[in-house]
């Protein structure tokens, strides 16, 4: 029990530290957001009536005159009541609304693709591990190559072949334009979402399953040479049983830990893909926020990312403490 | 599971295809197939995902279309020509002799899109509404049922576009009593424009024709797409899924070959901002006009156009007037166009005449101070970054050392607001009226600058800290008159000063590329009939164009 208490305390402190950094970092950045926004509007050729200028100034109130300490306390209080402020880029929509609209897209798409990449990688790793030393080993460098190709490049290649050259898959967005008033609960809509998600998901799967494949294959190779596996083989157990219940079950442990960590990065890890496909997720919002010095939005997104990473790690910690008793003792 | 998914994917694909047929995107769409439903015009005007409903004209970034399609000003001013303003809600206007009184006639058959009639009270309300009220307005009254008279403390001749061409008319019955008009998203906007908001999803939003409009538009539906990044937009143009957009594409030829209409228009001047005024705290060799002139002469504009701007830019005038449109405002004997090729010898002569001589490194120096400058452009604006490198080489050939670097937008913006720079590769904004007054006023007068280290007001653009009593006086003289001869004389005086002083060293006119579908839609502005500025970034022009389009062959 002491183990769990210690972990919980550790995560509480980490969360606080993250929240605090989250508060200070944007405030230490240079530049007056109001000037930047006005200059941007001018750059795209928009006429700026004095009324708009005035409202931008009021809204961004570059210097509120409040001491930093007071602002910090207000900030913490508001976060715990779920109020993340108002976005400047999408003024006057609240940050919480923007995040809650994008989060399902990111979690759905990136979450499922991460899981798919993991499953494909693990299954492939078991298979290649079992047939080590044959031609299938050649698949490893091929998958590593896919992983080392820059992410956006892979995305653009997919777009070029499957969407521009042959219009098999749509180029942008998360669902079809025929749903003119947004998401709805219908089979047609679900189908549209799957169809539109195919290329983005393929990008993620192709570029990340290689790591799982390599890791799993190597663990398989070393586990397969363990004495207990040899014993199992000597007992004359079925090959598949030796492979799956004896070798793979032990070999998968490090991959599961790794999977926990990569789940934590689901929310943050999709920026490039979302940009290429105009996918309405969190990564896109983050880019917009950074480009426009939208402090409130940035903070809100960092907060969500921090919390998901911490939560994923926390859960993995608990699960690990449960599966592997050794981790519960001081080593 | 897999099979199930795949079946649905196919279903979705079928649905998508038929959706496409209705949205009908360029390539296919047999015309008899969808009798009655015409093709939706699809526009990309810079919207990003996710689309969030915001049609508040006072908000800093309402969705494109709010201005122009729903809310309209009284007149349309065409910045591409010097012709008269086109009537929208207003039918005629007249200034009093001294420019302090403006009488406007209002259309008597106009209606708000909620069915209420548009009255003079609405117009009076618009100009006196607290957030929109012009500073110099002293009085606004309805003279009769369709005439409004505005009175000002200063002559308003030069401000005519701001008053009649960009101020959006608001319905009194909706906005009156709204304590905080800048807040809120105004989800159901009531305006006088040719379109009304229809539907919004995360990736697109649509407008449909306003049947109440006094001249109902021919196009039933206009859809705005949200796209992140130019690459996606370019792919969609190639696929025929975008009908109208202005994006930069180095690859434009293949899009044109693919059947898109295409037009390049001169838009914003690219210039070198110099921190010119030592009296206001500028430091560095560029505070010497001789150095600025030498740089001006050393630039090979032809090469820059070819190599950095893929051949798309056009020459600009050292007088900062827009060539073609503003020709009549370029004074007798003033240079018309910048030299297109470099003249390093002439640059050297200018420096030598000012007392500079070459040092051991081949760089000119005076009093032991070599002419060494830093010049920055915004990181990622590749055309500007490349131009910077070219200018660095060209200046070196003339014995001037310029180190070209890049800045984040933030540093760039900070630098020009506070004047802490030597040279920056920047831009000016084209004026919306066929008259260079606004550039002279905003970029060159003492009133619009501040000492180095002090932030400029965001509507003040005199980044170079230039201050010249002759220019100040001439600008004031031009703003107080409607007499063309007086104005021309004032502009000539300004031009003499700035052509000599070169606080902004002209590079070239940046080009704005626009792609449009001229197969399914007609009525676009053409080179011979530029009835509006064909840029989707310019909301009012774009709306004016949409209102003039019709399906091809009808």
* Closest approach of B333 to chain A, Cα-based (Å): 32
Nearest to A280 among B131, B203, B414 (CB): B203
Q: Do B50 and A280 touch (CB under 8 A)?
A: yes
Say if residues B64 and B244 touch (Cβ distance below 8 Å).
no
Nearest to A191 among B15, B52, B432 (CB): B15
Q: DSSP readout, A126-189?
A: HHHHHTTTSGGGGHHHHHHHHHHS-HHHHHHHHHIIIIIISTTS-SSSSS-TT-TT---SSHHH
* Closest approach of A118 to chain B, Cα-based (Å): 17
| Mean per-residue pLDDT over chain A, rounded | 81
Q: Is A249 helix (H, G, I), strand (E, B) or coil?
A: helix
Least confident of A87-96, B402-411, B447-456: A87-96
Rounded distance between C-alpha atoms, residue A134 and residue A139, angstroms:
10
Q: How deeply is B101 buried, as exposed, middle or buried, from its count of CB atoms within 10 A (0-12, 13-18, 19+)?
A: middle
Q: Do B201 and A181 touch (CB under 8 A)?
A: yes
Over residues B486-506, the pLDDT tens digits come to 999 999 999 999 999 999 999
DSSP label of B535: -
Chain A residues within 8 A of B134 when measuring between CB atoms:
50
Q: DSSP readout, B447-477?
A: GG---TTSPPPTT---TT----HHHHHHHHH
Over residues B191-223, the pLDDT tens digits come to 999 999 998 888 899 999 998 899 999 999 999
Nearest to B60 among A37, A168, A174 (CB): A37
Rounded distance between C-alpha atoms, residue B346 and residue B171, angstroms:
61
pLDDT score at A132: 82
Nearest to B227 among A56, A181, A278 (CB): A278
Q: Do B182 and A173 touch (CB under 8 A)?
A: no
Q: Do A191 and B9 touch (CB under 8 A)?
A: yes
Chain A residues within 8 A of B185 when measuring between CB atoms:
92-93
* Closest approach of A33 to chain B, Cα-based (Å): 9
| Mean per-residue pLDDT over chain B, rounded | 86
Nearest to B232 among A47, A52, A278 (CB): A278
Over residues B345-399, the pLDDT tens digits come to 999 999 999 999 999 889 999 998 999 999 998 877 788 899 999 999 999 999 9
* Closest approach of A132 to chain B, Cα-based (Å): 29
Residue of chain B whose alpha carbon sits nearest to that of A89: B61
Chain A residues within 8 A of B413 when measuring between CB atoms:
31, 35-36, 39
Over residues B111-143, the pLDDT tens digits come to 999 999 999 999 999 999 887 888 889 999 999
HSE-CB of B175 using CA atoms within 13 angstroms: 31
Q: Which residues contact A139 (CB under 8 A, 6 or more apart)?
A: A124, A128, A213
pLDDT score at B356: 94
H helix or E strand, kind and range, residue B91: strand B90-95
Q: Which residue has the tokens 């090469």?
A: B303
Q: Do B8 and A44 touch (CB under 8 A)?
A: no
Q: Is B424 helix (H, G, I), strand (E, B) or coil?
A: strand
Confidence category of residue B402, pLDDT binned at 50, 70, 90: very high
pLDDT score at B153: 92
> Does the pLDDT value for residue A30 go beyond 70?
no
Strands (E), B249-356: 261-274
Q: Do B202 and A276 touch (CB under 8 A)?
A: no
Residue of chain A whose alpha carbon sits nearest to that of B181: A55
Q: Which is higher by pLDDT, B11 or B547? A: B547
Size of interface A-B (CB pairs under 8 A): 205
Chain A residues within 8 A of B429 when measuring between CB atoms:
42, 45
Q: Do B537 and A277 touch (CB under 8 A)?
A: no
* Closest approach of A64 to chain B, Cα-based (Å): 18
Strands (E), chain A: none
Chain B residues within 8 A of A98 when measuring between CB atoms:
50, 52
> Does the pLDDT value for residue B24 go beyond 60?
no
Computed over its alpha carbons, how large is the radius of gyration of chain A?
24
Alpha carbon B240 to its chain's center: 26
Residue of chain B whose alpha carbon sits nearest to that of A170: B16
* Phi and psi torsions of B78, nearest 5°: -100, 110
HSE-CB of B160 using CA atoms within 13 angstroms: 27
H helix or E strand, kind and range, residue B426: strand B423-427
Residue of chain B whose alpha carbon sits nearest to that of A43: B429
pLDDT score at A171: 83
Rounded distance between C-alpha atoms, residue A34 and residue A48, angstroms:
13
Classify residue B26 as left (phi > 0), alpha (psi -120 to 50) or beta: left
No. of helices (H) and no. of strands (E), chain A: 15, 0
């Amino acid at each position: 029990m002491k183990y769990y208490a210690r972990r919980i305390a550790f995560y509480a402190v980490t969360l606080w530290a993250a929240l605090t950094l989250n508060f200070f970092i944007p405030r230490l950045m240079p530049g007056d957001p109001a000037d930047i926004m006005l200059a941007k509007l001018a750059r795209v050729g928009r006429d700026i009536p004095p009324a708009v200028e005035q409202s931008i100034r009021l809204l961004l109130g570059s210097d509120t005159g409040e001491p930093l300490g007071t602002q910090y306390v207000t900030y913490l209080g508001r976060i715990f009541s779920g109020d993340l402020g108002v976005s400047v880029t999408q003024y006057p929509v609240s940050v919480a609304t923007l995040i809650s609209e994008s989060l399902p897209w990111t979690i759905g798409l990136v979450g499922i693709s991460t899981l798919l990449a993991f499953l494909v990688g693990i299954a492939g790793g078991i298979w290649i591990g079992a047939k080590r030393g044959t031609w299938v080993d050649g698949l490893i460098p091929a998958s590593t190559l896919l992983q080392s190709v820059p992410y956006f490049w892979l995305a653009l290649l997919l777009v070029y072949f499957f969407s521009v050259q042959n219009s098999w898959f749509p180029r942008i967005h998360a669902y079809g334009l025929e749903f003119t008033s947004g998401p709805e609960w219908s089979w047609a809509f679900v189908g549209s979402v799957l169809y539109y998600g195919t290329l983005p998901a393929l990008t993620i799967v192709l570029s990340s399953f290689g790591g799982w494949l390599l890791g799993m294959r190597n663990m398989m190779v070393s586990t397969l040479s363990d004495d207990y596996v040899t014993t199992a083989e000597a007992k004359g157990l079925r090959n598949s049983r030796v492979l799956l219940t004896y070798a793979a079950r032990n070999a998968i442990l490090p991959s599961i830990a790794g999977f926990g960590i990569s789940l934590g990065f689901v929310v943050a890890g999709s920026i490039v893909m979302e940009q290429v496909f105009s996918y309405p997720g969190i990564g896109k919002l983050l880019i917009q926020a950074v480009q426009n010095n939208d402090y409130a939005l940035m903070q809100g997104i960092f907060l969500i990312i921090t919390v998901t990473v911490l939560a994923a790690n926390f859960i993995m910690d608990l699960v690990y403490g449960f599966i592997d008793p050794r981790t519960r003792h001081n080593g | 599971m897999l099979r199930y998914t795949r079946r649905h994917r196919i279903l979705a694909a079928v649905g998508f295809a038929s959706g496409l047929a209705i949205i009908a995107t360029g390539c296919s769409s047999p015309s008899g197939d969808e009798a009655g439903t015409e093709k939706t015009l699809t526009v990309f005007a810079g919207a990003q995902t996710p689309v969030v409903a915001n049609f508040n004209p006072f908000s800093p970034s309402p969705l494109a279309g709010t201005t122009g399609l729903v809310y309209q000003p009284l007149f349309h001013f065409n910045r591409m020509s010097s012709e008269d303003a086109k009537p929208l809600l207003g039918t005629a206007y007249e200034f009093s002799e001294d420019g302090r009184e403006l009488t406007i006639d209002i259309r008597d058959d106009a209606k708000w899109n909620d069915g209420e009639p548009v009255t003079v009270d609405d117009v009076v309300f618009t100009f006196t509404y607290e957030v929109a009220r012009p500073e110099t307005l002293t009085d606004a009254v309805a003279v009769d049922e369709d005439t409004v008279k505005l009175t000002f403390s200063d002559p308003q001749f030069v401000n005519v576009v701001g008053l009649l061409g960009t101020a959006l008319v608001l319905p009194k019955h909706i906005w009156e009593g709204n304590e905080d008009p800048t807040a809120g998203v105004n989800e159901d906007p009531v305006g006088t424009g040719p379109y009304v908001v229809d539907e919004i999803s995360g990736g697109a939003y649509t407008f449909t024709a306003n049947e109440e409009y006094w001249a109902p538009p021919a196009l039933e539906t206009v859809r705005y797409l949200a796209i992140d990044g130019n690459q996606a937009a370019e792919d969609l143009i190639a696929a025929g899924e975008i009908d109208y957009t202005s994006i930069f594409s180095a690859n434009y030829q293949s899009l044109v070959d693919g059947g898109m209409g295409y037009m390049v228009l001169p838009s914003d001047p690219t210039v070198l901002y110099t921190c010119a005024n030592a009296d206001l705290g500028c430091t560095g060799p560029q505070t010497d006009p001789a150095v600025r002139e030498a740089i001006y002469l050393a630039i090979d504009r032809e090469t820059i156009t070819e190599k950095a701007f893929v051949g798309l830019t056009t020459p600009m005038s050292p007088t900062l007037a827009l060539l073609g449109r503003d020709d009549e405002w370029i004074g007798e004997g003033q240079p018309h166009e910048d030299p297109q090729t470099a003249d390093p010898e002439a640059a050297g002569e200018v420096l030598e005449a000012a007392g500079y001589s070459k040092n051991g490194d081949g760089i000119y120096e005076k009093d032991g101070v070599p002419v060494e400058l830093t010049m920055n452009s915004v990181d990622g604006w590749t055309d500007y970054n490349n131009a910077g490198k070219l200018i660095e080489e060209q200046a070196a050939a003339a014995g001037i050392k310029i180190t070209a670097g890049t800045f984040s937008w933030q540093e760039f913006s900070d630098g020009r607001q506070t004047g802490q720079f030597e040279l920056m590769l920047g831009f000016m904004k084209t004026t919306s009226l066929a008259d260079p007054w606004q550039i002279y006023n905003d970029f060159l007068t003492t009133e619009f600058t501040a000492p180095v280290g002090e932030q400029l007001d965001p509507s003040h653009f005199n980044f170079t800290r230039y201050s010249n009593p002759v220019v100040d006086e001439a600008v004031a003289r031009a703003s107080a008159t409607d007499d063309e001869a007086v104005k021309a004389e004032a502009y000539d005086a300004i031009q003499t000063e700035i052509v000599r002083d070169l606080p902004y060293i002209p590079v070239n006119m940046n080009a704005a590329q626009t792609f449009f579908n001229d197969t399914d839609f007609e009525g676009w502005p053409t080179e011979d009939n530029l009835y509006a500025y064909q840029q989707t970034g310019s909301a009012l022009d774009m709306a004016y164009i949409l209102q003039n389009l019709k399906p091809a062959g009808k």
